[in-house]
Amino acid sequence: MCIQTELQRFQTEFNQTLVQTFSQLPNDIAPKLHQAMEYSVSNGGKRLRPFLLQIMAKVLAIDPKLIQPAAVALECIHSYSLVHDDLPAMDDDDLRRGKPTCHIQFDEAHAILAGDALQTLAFELLINADVQTDIKLSWVKILAQASGYQGMCGGQSLDLEAENKSVGLESLANIHSLKTGALLKAAVSMGCAAQRNLSDEQKQKFERFAELIGLAFQIQDDILDVTATTDALGKPQGSDQKSNKSTYPSLLGLTGAVHKAEQVFQSALEQIEDLPYNTQPLMDFAQFIIKRQH
């Protein structure tokens, strides 16, 4: 089955899992917050992080049911970060994938709270997961490190600080590795944590692969911000230029950025080509997120 079809099938299933997750959360405690939280995760997202984790489960022969709480937790963290990023004080975006952002649909206060509570929910799901204790502990550790000061939040801060400034390639890579890469890597690390037979060296190769596809993903994102239409993106095209951000195309030119994405992509594949697992699904995933057009 081609990866697009597989992703679509996964999205349908995963969206049902999300509906189930929220139906298990009593909606009468704080109804508006419940709505804002569910709205924020039900936004037609690509579900790339949970999908990557599911692919890792396939590659490492882990029961896909077992990693489900980790998949939902990853998406909760990703969704909360989008809700907060969209706020007027941050990127000030009214649209996300063609739909009103959370603070437009509800209000700013509930967008802040929905983000906060989605973050908490992520850790709650992990700690209540029906898996062995050491896996649970690893998951919480991985997700906390990837999403906090030393990961996603740190990257978001650096990204804000870099606006209207000229930033070099190394700084740009660092910003993206924290802001976007850390959570993609977490998806892979959470998969590795659920498979005890993995050696440290194998784990490191999977994680290095994740870091590199994270970087390639971001370069592609920068490229699409220049080349794609607002319609295809589901968000305003050219928003990087609008906010005067350094991007791969602005630093390397469009052709240079395309070349760089390809180079990083190849380097990612090299990491996992000799592993004693059928890593083809991961290679397909890498290909897919780098060749995507929106």
How far does Cα 167 stand from its chain's mean position?
A: 23
- The reply on whether position 104 binds its own copies by CB under 8 A is no
- Least Cα distance to 63 among 191, 245, 243, 177 occurs for 191
In this chain, which of 13, 116, 207, 284 binds its own copies, going by CB under 8 A?
116
Cα(158)–Cα(144) distance, integer angstroms: 18
* Rounded least distance, CB 142 to its own copies, Å: 10
Q: Are 162 and 245 in contact (CB under 8 A)?
A: yes
- The reply on whether position 169 binds its own copies by CB under 8 A is no
- The reply on whether position 154 binds its own copies by CB under 8 A is yes
Place of tokens 């070099």: 168
In this chain, which of 89, 236, 256, 266 binds its own copies, going by CB under 8 A?
89
* Rounded least distance, CB 67 to its own copies, Å: 18
* Rounded least distance, CB 145 to its own copies, Å: 7
- The reply on whether position 37 binds its own copies by CB under 8 A is yes
3-state secondary structure of 168: coil
**Which CB sits closer to its own copies, 30 or 258?**
30
- The reply on whether position 180 binds its own copies by CB under 8 A is no
Tokens matching residue 263 = 């180079």
Q: Are 182 and 211 in contact (CB under 8 A)?
A: no
Q: How far are the Cα atoms of 110, 229, 267, 285 from residue 68, in angstroms, in the given order?
A: 27, 34, 29, 19
- Least Cα distance to 153 among 108, 103, 119, 123 occurs for 119
- The reply on whether position 101 binds its own copies by CB under 8 A is no
Residues forming beta bridges with residue 100, ordered by sequence position: 95
Give residues 231-290 in contact with its own copies (rule: CB under 8 A): none
- The reply on whether position 96 binds its own copies by CB under 8 A is no
Residues that bind its own copies (CB under 8 A): 25-26, 29-30, 32-34, 37, 80, 84, 87, 89-90, 103, 107-113, 115-117, 119-121, 123-124, 127-128, 133-134, 136-137, 140-141, 144-145, 147-150, 153-158, 160-161, 178
